[in-house]
Amino acid sequence: MLIDSTSLSETVDAVHAAHFEGRPLDAAERRDTARWIAARQGLAGAYAETFAGFPAERSKGIALFTGERITSASARHILGEEASRALRVLAVRDPVVTGALAAADEGLLRSLARAAADPRTTNPGLFCCGKCSVGLWRNLLAGGLDRRDERLRRGASHLRSARDREHGWKRFPFWYTVLALSEMDSRDAKAELTHAAPALERAAARSASTLYACRRRNLAERVLKRL
């Protein structure tokens, strides 16, 4: 069962786990889960009319699919992006689900428009901070929002200037960023994954016993096979 009745982030995580693992879901499970997520749209605490986490998620934060913990406004924003992505992954044709997703898109696009109006904003592929930018990319990669190719291209190209000496990126959570880059098909994305390769090789060689360690090793192995 995908639905965790006390946690939007855990429910979204279960959807993404099935997708990541290539595990098929039957139509009834997809429909019920999509409707459950859609019912969180616009509730108190939702970021920009997206999907609201429960009180504990808003106060304590959430874990990303790759295990990094995110708190405060970033958690609300990323959960909205990830819930939108989950609905796209579930691909349920239902007017309630479609309407909720459209309302979430409208709210996020208004936020992007406000950010673009700031004269300090020069890159449409970035939003607010590194972790929130990756959340945006994940939604774009699933088919959400607008200017998909431009935003992804400009976002990935920015990472070169953010590289650190640990084969990651300043201000960008390493594994969450690798997860997004692994779905991009561009020279910039491949260049950043090549930059990250030494860290990925170390992860692929380590034993993994926890949920997130297993996901990270699996992700590292997948990326290294592509390079």
In a domain, 125, yes or no: yes
Residue with tokens 């999907």: 51
In a domain, 2, yes or no: no
Residue ranges of the chain with per-residue pLDDT less than 50: none
Q: How far is CA 151 from the centre of its chain?
A: 15
Dihedral of alpha carbons 63, 68, 69, 73, sign: negative
In a domain, 92, yes or no: yes
Sequence-separated (6 or more) residues with CB below 8 Å from residue 210? none
| DSSP notation for 166-197 | TSSBTTB-HHHHHHHHTT--SHHHHHHHHHHH
In a domain, 1, yes or no: no
In a domain, 176, yes or no: yes
φ, ψ dihedrals at 183, nearest 5°:
-100, -5
Rounded to whole angstroms, the Cα distance separating 135 from 168 reads 17
Sequence-separated (6 or more) residues with CB below 8 Å from residue 187? none
At 3-16, the pLDDT tens digits run: 999 999 999 999 99
What does the pLDDT read at residue 116? 87
Domain count for the chain, please give it.
Answer: 1
Rounded to whole angstroms, the Cα distance separating 109 from 86 reads 18
Residue 226's Cβ-count burial label (10 Å; 0-12, 13-18, 19+) is exposed
> Closest Cα to residue 33, out of 95, 76, 91?
91
Please report which helix (H) or strand (E) contains residue 63, including its range. Answer: strand 62-63
In a domain, 3, yes or no: no
Rounded to whole angstroms, the Cα distance separating 178 from 219 reads 8
Give the SS3 label for residue 62.
Answer: strand
User: Residue 147 sits in which domain range?
Assistant: 8-226
Residue with tokens 């390769």: 197
Rounded to whole angstroms, the Cα distance separating 195 from 222 reads 15
Residue 199's Cβ-count burial label (10 Å; 0-12, 13-18, 19+) is middle
In a domain, 48, yes or no: yes
